[in-house]
Structure 1
Amino acid sequence: MTPTLHTLNLNQIDTEALPRDRTALDPQELDQLARSIALSGLRQPIEVWMLQAPRPPFLYGLISGYRRTAALRRLGLTEVQAFLRTPETLAQAMAEMVGENEIRSQITPWEKARLVLATVDEGHFPTPDAAIRGLFPHLSRQSHHRMRGHAEVVEALGDILSQPETLSSRRLDRLATALRSGWENLLRAALAPLKSPGMETQWQAMLPILTESTTSKSTGDSPRPRRLLHLKKGLTIRRELTQHGYALRFSGPEARRGGMMDDVMDYVERWFGSE
Protein backbone atom coordinates (compact mmCIF):
# COMPACT_ATOMS: atom_id res chain seq x y z
CA MET A 1 0.00 0.00 0.00
CA THR A 2 1.43 3.38 -1.04
CA PRO A 3 1.85 5.76 1.91
CA THR A 4 -0.03 9.06 1.85
CA LEU A 5 1.88 12.29 1.22
CA HIS A 6 1.20 15.20 3.58
CA THR A 7 2.56 18.67 4.28
CA LEU A 8 3.46 18.76 7.96
CA ASN A 9 4.75 21.31 10.44
CA LEU A 10 8.34 20.53 11.36
CA ASN A 11 7.70 21.43 14.99
CA GLN A 12 5.18 18.60 15.20
CA ILE A 13 7.74 15.93 14.25
CA ASP A 14 9.74 14.26 17.02
CA THR A 15 13.06 13.32 15.44
CA GLU A 16 14.07 11.40 18.58
CA ALA A 17 10.90 9.27 18.82
CA LEU A 18 12.98 6.30 17.71
CA PRO A 19 16.46 5.48 18.99
CA ARG A 20 18.61 6.81 16.15
CA ASP A 21 21.55 4.75 14.97
CA ARG A 22 23.42 7.97 14.15
CA THR A 23 22.74 11.43 15.57
CA ALA A 24 26.13 13.10 15.01
CA LEU A 25 25.79 15.04 11.76
CA ASP A 26 28.80 16.19 9.78
CA PRO A 27 28.52 20.03 9.60
CA GLN A 28 29.95 20.22 6.06
CA GLU A 29 27.63 17.50 4.76
CA LEU A 30 24.67 19.22 6.45
CA ASP A 31 25.59 22.56 4.86
CA GLN A 32 25.86 20.89 1.46
CA LEU A 33 22.46 19.25 1.87
CA ALA A 34 20.89 22.55 3.01
CA ARG A 35 22.29 24.35 -0.05
CA SER A 36 20.92 21.63 -2.32
CA ILE A 37 17.45 21.91 -0.77
CA ALA A 38 17.58 25.72 -1.02
CA LEU A 39 18.37 25.49 -4.74
CA SER A 40 16.26 22.53 -5.83
CA GLY A 41 13.78 21.88 -3.03
CA LEU A 42 13.31 18.66 -1.10
CA ARG A 43 13.56 15.93 -3.73
CA GLN A 44 12.57 13.06 -1.45
CA PRO A 45 9.92 13.43 1.27
CA ILE A 46 10.70 12.26 4.79
CA GLU A 47 8.75 9.41 6.41
CA VAL A 48 6.80 9.66 9.65
CA TRP A 49 4.13 7.81 11.61
CA MET A 50 1.40 9.23 13.82
CA LEU A 51 2.19 8.86 17.49
CA GLN A 52 -0.33 6.74 19.38
CA ALA A 53 0.22 8.94 22.43
CA PRO A 54 1.01 12.47 21.15
CA ARG A 55 3.36 14.57 23.29
CA PRO A 56 2.56 18.21 22.40
CA PRO A 57 3.83 19.74 20.26
CA PHE A 58 4.78 16.37 18.76
CA LEU A 59 2.12 14.55 16.77
CA TYR A 60 4.41 12.45 14.58
CA GLY A 61 7.54 10.36 14.99
CA LEU A 62 10.35 10.38 12.42
CA ILE A 63 11.19 7.13 10.65
CA SER A 64 13.57 8.33 7.94
CA GLY A 65 14.91 11.74 6.97
CA TYR A 66 16.92 12.78 10.02
CA ARG A 67 19.47 14.71 7.97
CA ARG A 68 16.85 16.23 5.69
CA THR A 69 14.86 17.44 8.69
CA ALA A 70 17.99 19.00 10.24
CA ALA A 71 18.81 20.74 6.94
CA LEU A 72 15.29 22.16 6.63
CA ARG A 73 15.48 23.55 10.15
CA ARG A 74 18.87 25.07 9.39
CA LEU A 75 17.26 26.89 6.47
CA GLY A 76 14.56 28.24 8.79
CA LEU A 77 11.75 26.37 7.02
CA THR A 78 8.68 25.34 8.99
CA GLU A 79 7.00 22.75 6.74
CA VAL A 80 8.05 19.51 5.09
CA GLN A 81 6.60 17.02 2.63
CA ALA A 82 6.23 13.70 4.43
CA PHE A 83 4.91 10.24 3.72
CA LEU A 84 2.62 9.23 6.57
CA ARG A 85 3.38 5.60 7.23
CA THR A 86 1.32 3.21 9.33
CA PRO A 87 3.77 0.46 10.30
CA GLU A 88 2.17 -2.49 12.05
CA THR A 89 4.60 -2.09 14.92
CA LEU A 90 7.14 0.43 16.06
CA ALA A 91 9.77 -2.25 15.54
CA GLN A 92 8.96 -2.26 11.81
CA ALA A 93 9.47 1.50 11.71
CA MET A 94 12.89 1.08 13.29
CA ALA A 95 13.84 -1.60 10.78
CA GLU A 96 12.90 0.79 7.96
CA MET A 97 14.99 3.56 9.53
CA VAL A 98 17.98 1.24 9.83
CA GLY A 99 17.53 0.08 6.23
CA GLU A 100 17.59 3.65 4.94
CA ASN A 101 20.70 4.59 6.90
CA GLU A 102 22.50 1.40 5.85
CA ILE A 103 22.13 2.64 2.26
CA ARG A 104 22.72 6.36 2.79
CA SER A 105 25.68 6.29 5.20
CA GLN A 106 28.17 3.89 6.67
CA ILE A 107 26.95 2.97 10.15
CA THR A 108 29.73 1.77 12.42
CA PRO A 109 29.54 -1.61 14.19
CA TRP A 110 29.38 0.18 17.54
CA GLU A 111 26.40 2.30 16.44
CA LYS A 112 24.51 -0.78 15.26
CA ALA A 113 25.12 -2.56 18.56
CA ARG A 114 24.13 0.52 20.54
CA LEU A 115 20.86 0.74 18.63
CA VAL A 116 20.13 -2.92 19.38
CA LEU A 117 20.42 -2.27 23.13
CA ALA A 118 18.48 0.99 22.95
CA THR A 119 15.49 -0.72 21.34
CA VAL A 120 15.50 -3.36 24.07
CA ASP A 121 15.84 -0.78 26.85
CA GLU A 122 12.84 1.12 25.51
CA GLY A 123 10.72 -2.02 25.31
CA HIS A 124 10.42 -2.34 21.53
CA PHE A 125 12.04 -5.81 21.54
CA PRO A 126 12.16 -8.32 24.40
CA THR A 127 15.81 -9.36 23.94
CA PRO A 128 18.92 -8.28 22.00
CA ASP A 129 18.55 -11.36 19.81
CA ALA A 130 14.99 -10.37 18.93
CA ALA A 131 16.16 -6.81 18.19
CA ILE A 132 18.88 -8.05 15.85
CA ARG A 133 16.41 -10.27 14.00
CA GLY A 134 13.94 -7.40 13.69
CA LEU A 135 16.36 -4.63 12.74
CA PHE A 136 18.75 -6.66 10.59
CA PRO A 137 16.62 -9.50 9.21
CA HIS A 138 19.03 -10.54 6.48
CA LEU A 139 22.02 -11.31 8.69
CA SER A 140 23.52 -14.77 8.57
CA ARG A 141 23.68 -16.79 11.78
CA GLN A 142 27.39 -16.01 12.12
CA SER A 143 26.84 -12.26 11.62
CA HIS A 144 23.97 -12.36 14.12
CA HIS A 145 26.24 -13.98 16.72
CA ARG A 146 28.93 -11.41 15.98
CA MET A 147 26.55 -8.46 16.46
CA ARG A 148 25.28 -10.02 19.68
CA GLY A 149 28.84 -9.97 20.97
CA HIS A 150 29.23 -6.34 19.95
CA ALA A 151 26.08 -5.51 21.92
CA GLU A 152 27.63 -7.17 24.96
CA VAL A 153 30.66 -4.89 24.61
CA VAL A 154 28.44 -1.81 24.46
CA GLU A 155 26.57 -2.98 27.55
CA ALA A 156 29.72 -3.78 29.56
CA LEU A 157 32.09 -0.98 28.52
CA GLY A 158 29.93 1.71 26.90
CA ASP A 159 30.18 3.98 29.93
CA ILE A 160 33.98 3.98 30.06
CA LEU A 161 35.22 3.81 26.46
CA SER A 162 36.13 7.04 24.66
CA GLN A 163 35.07 7.45 21.02
CA PRO A 164 34.04 3.78 20.72
CA GLU A 165 32.51 4.48 17.30
CA THR A 166 36.07 4.20 15.95
CA LEU A 167 36.38 0.56 17.02
CA SER A 168 36.53 -1.87 14.11
CA SER A 169 34.49 -5.06 13.99
CA ARG A 170 37.65 -7.06 14.61
CA ARG A 171 38.47 -5.12 17.78
CA LEU A 172 34.91 -5.47 19.02
CA ASP A 173 35.17 -9.21 18.38
CA ARG A 174 38.27 -9.40 20.58
CA LEU A 175 36.56 -7.47 23.36
CA ALA A 176 33.47 -9.66 23.13
CA THR A 177 35.55 -12.83 23.38
CA ALA A 178 37.35 -11.52 26.47
CA LEU A 179 34.10 -10.44 28.14
CA ARG A 180 32.55 -13.86 27.58
CA SER A 181 35.57 -15.39 29.32
CA GLY A 182 35.15 -13.25 32.44
CA TRP A 183 37.71 -10.50 31.84
CA GLU A 184 35.40 -7.49 32.28
CA ASN A 185 36.73 -6.44 35.69
CA LEU A 186 40.31 -6.50 34.46
CA LEU A 187 39.46 -4.48 31.35
CA ARG A 188 37.70 -1.86 33.44
CA ALA A 189 40.58 -1.79 35.92
CA ALA A 190 43.00 -1.13 33.05
CA LEU A 191 40.89 1.78 31.79
CA ALA A 192 40.00 3.39 35.12
CA PRO A 193 43.36 5.12 35.86
CA LEU A 194 43.57 6.76 32.42
CA LYS A 195 42.75 10.47 32.42
CA SER A 196 40.84 11.85 29.39
CA PRO A 197 42.28 9.17 27.08
CA GLY A 198 41.64 8.71 23.38
CA MET A 199 40.47 5.42 21.98
CA GLU A 200 43.92 4.33 20.85
CA THR A 201 45.35 4.97 24.34
CA GLN A 202 42.57 2.90 25.84
CA TRP A 203 43.10 0.12 23.34
CA GLN A 204 46.79 -0.10 24.17
CA ALA A 205 45.92 -0.27 27.87
CA MET A 206 43.54 -3.18 27.23
CA LEU A 207 45.74 -5.01 24.73
CA PRO A 208 47.84 -7.02 27.25
CA ILE A 209 44.63 -8.25 28.89
CA LEU A 210 43.10 -9.19 25.54
CA THR A 211 46.26 -11.08 24.63
CA GLU A 212 46.30 -12.97 27.91
CA SER A 213 42.60 -13.79 27.58
CA THR A 214 43.33 -15.74 24.39
CA THR A 215 46.37 -17.61 25.76
CA SER A 216 45.36 -18.32 29.35
CA LYS A 217 43.83 -21.66 30.30
CA SER A 218 41.79 -19.98 33.04
CA THR A 219 39.09 -17.34 32.90
CA GLY A 220 39.64 -13.75 33.91
CA ASP A 221 37.58 -14.06 37.09
CA SER A 222 39.11 -17.35 38.28
CA PRO A 223 40.43 -17.35 41.89
CA ARG A 224 43.84 -18.54 40.72
CA PRO A 225 45.95 -17.08 39.32
CA ARG A 226 45.09 -13.84 41.12
CA ARG A 227 45.00 -10.97 38.66
CA LEU A 228 43.19 -8.14 40.45
CA LEU A 229 43.05 -6.75 43.99
CA HIS A 230 40.90 -3.87 45.23
CA LEU A 231 42.23 -2.82 48.64
CA LYS A 232 41.41 -0.10 51.16
CA LYS A 233 41.99 3.59 50.46
CA GLY A 234 41.24 3.08 46.78
CA LEU A 235 44.35 1.01 46.05
CA THR A 236 44.08 -1.32 43.06
CA ILE A 237 46.76 -3.84 42.11
CA ARG A 238 46.56 -5.53 38.74
CA ARG A 239 48.83 -8.29 37.46
CA GLU A 240 49.54 -7.98 33.75
CA LEU A 241 51.21 -10.49 31.45
CA THR A 242 54.18 -9.07 29.55
CA GLN A 243 56.60 -10.47 26.99
CA HIS A 244 59.17 -11.27 29.69
CA GLY A 245 56.99 -12.20 32.64
CA TYR A 246 54.48 -10.25 34.68
CA ALA A 247 54.11 -6.65 35.79
CA LEU A 248 52.20 -5.40 38.82
CA ARG A 249 50.35 -2.15 38.22
CA PHE A 250 49.38 -0.09 41.25
CA SER A 251 46.74 2.62 40.88
CA GLY A 252 44.65 4.82 43.13
CA PRO A 253 45.48 7.61 45.62
CA GLU A 254 47.61 5.36 47.81
CA ALA A 255 49.72 4.29 44.81
CA ARG A 256 50.80 7.88 44.21
CA ARG A 257 52.71 7.91 47.47
CA GLY A 258 56.30 7.12 46.69
CA GLY A 259 56.76 5.72 50.17
CA MET A 260 54.35 2.88 49.58
CA MET A 261 56.29 1.70 46.54
CA ASP A 262 59.51 1.83 48.57
CA ASP A 263 57.83 -0.38 51.18
CA VAL A 264 56.79 -2.87 48.48
CA MET A 265 60.31 -3.04 47.07
CA ASP A 266 61.77 -3.44 50.60
CA TYR A 267 59.41 -6.34 51.21
CA VAL A 268 60.35 -8.05 47.94
CA GLU A 269 64.04 -7.55 48.72
CA ARG A 270 63.64 -9.17 52.14
CA TRP A 271 61.67 -12.02 50.58
CA PHE A 272 64.20 -12.89 47.87
CA GLY A 273 67.32 -11.38 49.38
CA SER A 274 69.69 -8.86 47.81
CA GLU A 275 72.59 -9.84 45.60
Structure 2
Amino acid sequence: MDPLHHLPLTEIDPHALLRDRGALDPATLHQLQHSIATEGLRTPIEVWTLSTPRPSEGGETYRYGLISGLRRLTAARALGLKAIPAFLRAPQSIAQALASMVTENEIREPVTPWEKATLILNAIEEGHFDTPDTAIAALFPSSPRTSRTRIRNHVGVAESLALLLAEPATLTTRQLDTLAAALQSGHEDLLIATLQPVARQSAETQWSTLRPVLQDVLREPTNPTTRRPRRLLKLRRA
Protein backbone atom coordinates (compact mmCIF):
# COMPACT_ATOMS: atom_id res chain seq x y z
CA MET A 1 0.00 0.00 0.00
CA ASP A 2 1.33 3.44 -0.91
CA PRO A 3 2.52 5.49 2.07
CA LEU A 4 0.34 8.46 3.02
CA HIS A 5 1.92 11.89 3.38
CA HIS A 6 0.53 14.98 5.09
CA LEU A 7 1.68 17.88 2.95
CA PRO A 8 1.43 21.63 3.58
CA LEU A 9 -1.31 23.15 1.45
CA THR A 10 0.93 26.06 0.57
CA GLU A 11 3.41 23.69 -1.13
CA ILE A 12 0.88 22.18 -3.58
CA ASP A 13 0.37 23.86 -6.94
CA PRO A 14 -3.26 23.23 -8.02
CA HIS A 15 -2.52 24.37 -11.57
CA ALA A 16 0.70 22.49 -12.28
CA LEU A 17 -1.39 20.43 -14.70
CA LEU A 18 -4.00 21.49 -17.20
CA ARG A 19 -7.35 20.94 -15.50
CA ASP A 20 -10.21 19.24 -17.26
CA ARG A 21 -12.81 20.74 -14.94
CA GLY A 22 -13.34 24.38 -15.88
CA ALA A 23 -15.26 25.53 -12.80
CA LEU A 24 -16.18 24.13 -9.41
CA ASP A 25 -19.85 24.08 -8.48
CA PRO A 26 -20.28 26.29 -5.35
CA ALA A 27 -23.05 24.12 -3.85
CA THR A 28 -21.06 20.91 -4.27
CA LEU A 29 -17.95 22.59 -2.90
CA HIS A 30 -19.89 23.81 0.15
CA GLN A 31 -21.14 20.27 0.81
CA LEU A 32 -17.61 18.95 0.58
CA GLN A 33 -16.34 21.61 2.99
CA HIS A 34 -19.03 20.61 5.49
CA SER A 35 -18.11 16.93 5.10
CA ILE A 36 -14.40 17.59 5.65
CA ALA A 37 -15.10 19.85 8.63
CA THR A 38 -17.29 17.27 10.36
CA GLU A 39 -15.79 13.95 9.30
CA GLY A 40 -12.35 14.74 7.91
CA LEU A 41 -11.04 14.05 4.43
CA ARG A 42 -11.82 10.45 3.54
CA THR A 43 -9.92 10.25 0.25
CA PRO A 44 -6.38 11.67 -0.04
CA ILE A 45 -5.39 13.80 -3.00
CA GLU A 46 -2.66 12.76 -5.45
CA VAL A 47 0.44 14.83 -6.19
CA TRP A 48 3.87 14.50 -7.72
CA THR A 49 7.14 16.16 -6.77
CA LEU A 50 7.99 19.06 -9.06
CA SER A 51 11.39 18.70 -10.68
CA THR A 52 11.95 22.40 -10.03
CA PRO A 53 10.16 24.09 -7.11
CA ARG A 54 8.43 27.31 -8.18
CA PRO A 55 7.28 30.40 -6.30
CA SER A 56 3.59 30.79 -5.55
CA GLU A 57 1.56 34.00 -5.71
CA GLY A 58 1.45 34.08 -1.92
CA GLY A 59 5.21 34.11 -1.58
CA GLU A 60 5.50 30.43 -0.67
CA THR A 61 7.23 27.74 -2.72
CA TYR A 62 5.35 25.08 -4.61
CA ARG A 63 7.10 21.73 -4.27
CA TYR A 64 4.30 19.46 -5.47
CA GLY A 65 1.93 19.48 -8.43
CA LEU A 66 -1.68 18.37 -8.04
CA ILE A 67 -2.78 15.36 -10.09
CA SER A 68 -6.23 14.65 -8.67
CA GLY A 69 -8.33 16.18 -5.92
CA LEU A 70 -8.83 19.81 -6.98
CA ARG A 71 -12.16 20.09 -5.15
CA ARG A 72 -10.74 18.46 -2.03
CA LEU A 73 -7.73 20.79 -2.08
CA THR A 74 -9.93 23.86 -2.67
CA ALA A 75 -12.28 22.89 0.16
CA ALA A 76 -9.38 22.28 2.55
CA ARG A 77 -7.94 25.71 1.74
CA ALA A 78 -11.31 27.37 2.28
CA LEU A 79 -11.50 25.72 5.71
CA GLY A 80 -8.08 27.12 6.62
CA LEU A 81 -6.41 23.72 7.00
CA LYS A 82 -2.62 23.73 7.06
CA ALA A 83 -1.96 20.25 5.66
CA ILE A 84 -3.76 17.61 3.64
CA PRO A 85 -3.29 13.84 3.27
CA ALA A 86 -1.81 12.96 -0.09
CA PHE A 87 -0.41 10.07 -2.07
CA LEU A 88 2.88 10.90 -3.74
CA ARG A 89 2.96 9.61 -7.31
CA ALA A 90 5.79 9.44 -9.83
CA PRO A 91 4.33 9.88 -13.34
CA GLN A 92 6.80 9.35 -16.15
CA SER A 93 5.53 12.41 -18.00
CA ILE A 94 3.04 15.24 -17.81
CA ALA A 95 0.91 13.32 -20.31
CA GLN A 96 0.76 10.37 -17.93
CA ALA A 97 -0.19 12.68 -15.06
CA LEU A 98 -2.96 14.14 -17.22
CA ALA A 99 -4.24 10.64 -17.95
CA SER A 100 -4.33 9.87 -14.22
CA MET A 101 -6.32 13.04 -13.55
CA VAL A 102 -8.84 12.25 -16.29
CA THR A 103 -9.28 8.67 -15.07
CA GLU A 104 -9.93 9.88 -11.52
CA ASN A 105 -12.56 12.37 -12.66
CA GLU A 106 -14.27 9.87 -14.95
CA ILE A 107 -14.71 7.57 -11.93
CA ARG A 108 -15.85 10.25 -9.50
CA GLU A 109 -17.78 12.79 -11.55
CA PRO A 110 -17.18 13.08 -15.30
CA VAL A 111 -16.49 16.55 -16.63
CA THR A 112 -18.63 18.12 -19.34
CA PRO A 113 -18.14 17.14 -22.99
CA TRP A 114 -16.88 20.65 -23.76
CA GLU A 115 -14.28 20.48 -20.97
CA LYS A 116 -12.98 17.21 -22.38
CA ALA A 117 -12.65 18.75 -25.83
CA THR A 118 -10.83 21.86 -24.61
CA LEU A 119 -8.52 19.80 -22.40
CA ILE A 120 -7.41 17.88 -25.49
CA LEU A 121 -6.79 21.06 -27.48
CA ASN A 122 -4.86 22.66 -24.61
CA ALA A 123 -2.75 19.53 -24.11
CA ILE A 124 -1.83 19.56 -27.80
CA GLU A 125 -1.03 23.27 -27.65
CA GLU A 126 1.31 22.68 -24.72
CA GLY A 127 3.07 19.91 -26.66
CA HIS A 128 1.98 16.90 -24.58
CA PHE A 129 0.40 15.22 -27.61
CA ASP A 130 0.77 15.59 -31.37
CA THR A 131 -2.81 15.09 -32.49
CA PRO A 132 -6.33 14.88 -31.04
CA ASP A 133 -6.39 11.15 -31.74
CA THR A 134 -3.21 10.43 -29.75
CA ALA A 135 -4.48 12.64 -26.92
CA ILE A 136 -7.84 10.86 -26.79
CA ALA A 137 -6.18 7.44 -26.88
CA ALA A 138 -3.92 8.38 -23.96
CA LEU A 139 -6.47 10.23 -21.83
CA PHE A 140 -9.50 7.99 -22.43
CA PRO A 141 -7.99 4.54 -23.05
CA SER A 142 -10.88 2.60 -21.50
CA SER A 143 -13.65 4.49 -23.28
CA PRO A 144 -15.52 2.60 -26.01
CA ARG A 145 -14.63 3.46 -29.60
CA THR A 146 -17.95 5.24 -30.06
CA SER A 147 -17.23 7.48 -27.07
CA ARG A 148 -13.75 8.32 -28.34
CA THR A 149 -15.19 9.15 -31.76
CA ARG A 150 -17.74 11.44 -30.12
CA ILE A 151 -15.01 13.22 -28.15
CA ARG A 152 -13.03 13.69 -31.38
CA ASN A 153 -16.09 15.22 -33.01
CA HIS A 154 -16.52 17.60 -30.09
CA VAL A 155 -12.88 18.63 -30.41
CA GLY A 156 -13.72 19.72 -33.95
CA VAL A 157 -16.51 21.93 -32.60
CA ALA A 158 -14.14 23.52 -30.10
CA GLU A 159 -11.54 24.11 -32.81
CA SER A 160 -14.01 25.86 -35.10
CA LEU A 161 -16.45 27.67 -32.83
CA ALA A 162 -14.87 28.23 -29.39
CA LEU A 163 -14.30 31.95 -29.93
CA LEU A 164 -17.92 32.56 -30.88
CA LEU A 165 -19.85 30.40 -28.42
CA ALA A 166 -21.10 31.88 -25.14
CA GLU A 167 -20.82 29.53 -22.13
CA PRO A 168 -19.92 26.53 -24.29
CA ALA A 169 -19.47 24.33 -21.20
CA THR A 170 -23.27 24.41 -20.83
CA LEU A 171 -23.81 22.75 -24.21
CA THR A 172 -25.27 19.28 -23.93
CA THR A 173 -23.82 16.23 -25.59
CA ARG A 174 -26.69 16.27 -28.06
CA GLN A 175 -26.09 19.91 -28.96
CA LEU A 176 -22.40 19.29 -29.51
CA ASP A 177 -23.23 16.23 -31.62
CA THR A 178 -25.51 18.37 -33.78
CA LEU A 179 -22.86 21.06 -34.25
CA ALA A 180 -20.27 18.40 -35.06
CA ALA A 181 -22.54 16.85 -37.69
CA ALA A 182 -23.06 20.25 -39.31
CA LEU A 183 -19.31 20.89 -39.40
CA GLN A 184 -18.59 17.47 -40.86
CA SER A 185 -21.12 18.05 -43.62
CA GLY A 186 -19.22 21.15 -44.72
CA HIS A 187 -21.20 23.97 -43.10
CA GLU A 188 -18.51 25.62 -40.98
CA ASP A 189 -18.79 28.96 -42.80
CA LEU A 190 -22.55 28.95 -42.36
CA LEU A 191 -22.31 28.29 -38.60
CA ILE A 192 -19.71 31.02 -38.17
CA ALA A 193 -21.86 33.47 -40.14
CA THR A 194 -24.86 32.55 -37.98
CA LEU A 195 -22.99 33.04 -34.71
CA GLN A 196 -21.10 36.23 -35.49
CA PRO A 197 -24.10 38.61 -35.11
CA VAL A 198 -24.95 37.05 -31.71
CA ALA A 199 -21.39 36.42 -30.52
CA ARG A 200 -21.82 38.66 -27.46
CA GLN A 201 -25.29 37.45 -26.53
CA SER A 202 -26.43 34.71 -24.18
CA ALA A 203 -26.02 31.00 -24.77
CA GLU A 204 -29.82 30.67 -24.96
CA THR A 205 -30.05 33.36 -27.63
CA GLN A 206 -27.23 31.79 -29.60
CA TRP A 207 -28.85 28.37 -29.60
CA SER A 208 -32.23 29.82 -30.58
CA THR A 209 -30.46 31.46 -33.53
CA LEU A 210 -28.59 28.29 -34.46
CA ARG A 211 -31.52 25.89 -34.15
CA PRO A 212 -33.36 26.65 -37.43
CA VAL A 213 -30.07 26.76 -39.33
CA LEU A 214 -29.05 23.39 -37.92
CA GLN A 215 -32.43 21.94 -38.78
CA ASP A 216 -31.88 23.01 -42.39
CA VAL A 217 -28.37 21.57 -42.34
CA LEU A 218 -29.56 18.19 -41.06
CA ARG A 219 -32.18 18.02 -43.82
CA GLU A 220 -29.74 19.11 -46.54
CA PRO A 221 -28.40 16.15 -48.57
CA THR A 222 -24.65 15.87 -48.94
CA ASN A 223 -22.41 14.42 -51.60
CA PRO A 224 -21.72 10.84 -50.36
CA THR A 225 -18.16 10.97 -51.70
CA THR A 226 -16.96 14.35 -50.48
CA ARG A 227 -19.39 14.84 -47.56
CA ARG A 228 -19.82 18.41 -48.78
CA PRO A 229 -23.26 20.00 -49.13
CA ARG A 230 -24.89 19.60 -52.53
CA ARG A 231 -26.00 23.23 -52.39
CA LEU A 232 -25.03 26.22 -50.26
CA LEU A 233 -27.52 27.06 -47.55
CA LYS A 234 -28.18 30.76 -47.06
CA LEU A 235 -29.01 32.55 -43.85
CA ARG A 236 -32.64 33.57 -43.65
CA ARG A 237 -33.18 37.30 -43.78
CA ALA A 238 -35.96 39.01 -41.89
- TM-score range, shorter-chain basis? 0.7 to 0.9
Note closer, same or farther for the CA distance 1:24–1:194 as it changes in structure 2 (3 Å cut). Answer: same
Partner secondary structure for residue 20 of structure 1: coil
* Mapped partners of 1:49, 1:195: distance in 2: 40
Determine if the alignment matches structure 1 residue 104 to structure 2 residue 108: yes
Task: Give the count of matched residue pairs.
Answer: 229
Note closer, same or farther for the CA distance 1:225–1:35 as it changes in structure 2 (3 Å cut). Answer: closer
Q: Does structure 2 conserve the Cα–Cα contact (< 8 Å) formed by 1:156 and 1:184? A: yes
* Mapped partners of 1:127, 1:195: distance in 2: 28
Offset at residue 63 of structure 1 (A): 0.7
Deviations 1:152-173 (A, max 9, x none): 1011111211122222222211
What is the letter of the counterpart of residue 123 of structure 2?
A: T
Matches for 1:133-148 after TM superposition, within 5 Å: 133-148=137-152
Offset at residue 190 of structure 1 (A): 1.2
* Mapped partners of 2:26, 2:160: distance in 1: 31
Q: Using the TM superposition, name which of 161-170 and 144-153 deviates more.
A: 161-170
* Mapped partners of 2:143, 2:93: distance in 1: 21
Q: 190, 195, 204: which is aligned to 1:191?
A: 195
What is the letter of the counterpart of residue 177 of structure 1?
A: A
Deviations 1:226-269 (A, max 9, x none): 65xxxxxxxxxxx32xxxxxx336xxxxxxxxxxxxxxxxxxxx
Q: Does structure 1 conserve the Cα–Cα contact (< 8 Å) formed by 2:46 and 2:69? A: yes
Q: Does structure 1 conserve the Cα–Cα contact (< 8 Å) formed by 2:17 and 2:65? A: yes
Q: Does structure 1 conserve the Cα–Cα contact (< 8 Å) formed by 2:185 and 2:229? A: no
* Mapped partners of 2:218, 2:229: distance in 1: 18
What is the letter of the counterpart of residue 130 of structure 1?
A: T
Q: Does structure 2 conserve the Cα–Cα contact (< 8 Å) formed by 1:110 and 1:165? A: yes
Percent identity between matched residues is 51
Please say which structure displays the higher CA radius of gyration. 1
What is the letter of the counterpart of residue 237 of structure 2?
A: L
Offset at residue 133 of structure 1 (A): 0.6
Q: 248, 261, 265: which is aligned to 2:237?
A: 248
Matches for 1:1-275 after TM superposition, within 5 Å: 2-56=1-55, 57-194=61-198, 196-217=200-221, 239-240=234-235, 247-248=236-237
What is the letter of the counterpart of residue 3 of structure 1?
A: D
Offset at residue 224 of structure 1 (A): 9.0
Q: Does structure 2 conserve the Cα–Cα contact (< 8 Å) formed by 1:3 and 1:85? A: no
Note closer, same or farther for the CA distance 1:117–1:195 as it changes in structure 2 (3 Å cut). Answer: closer
Offset at residue 85 of structure 1 (A): 0.3
Partner secondary structure for residue 41 of structure 2: coil
Offset at residue 225 of structure 1 (A): 5.4
Note closer, same or farther for the CA distance 1:63–1:146 as it changes in structure 2 (3 Å cut). Answer: same
**TM superposition score normalised by structure 2:** 0.87
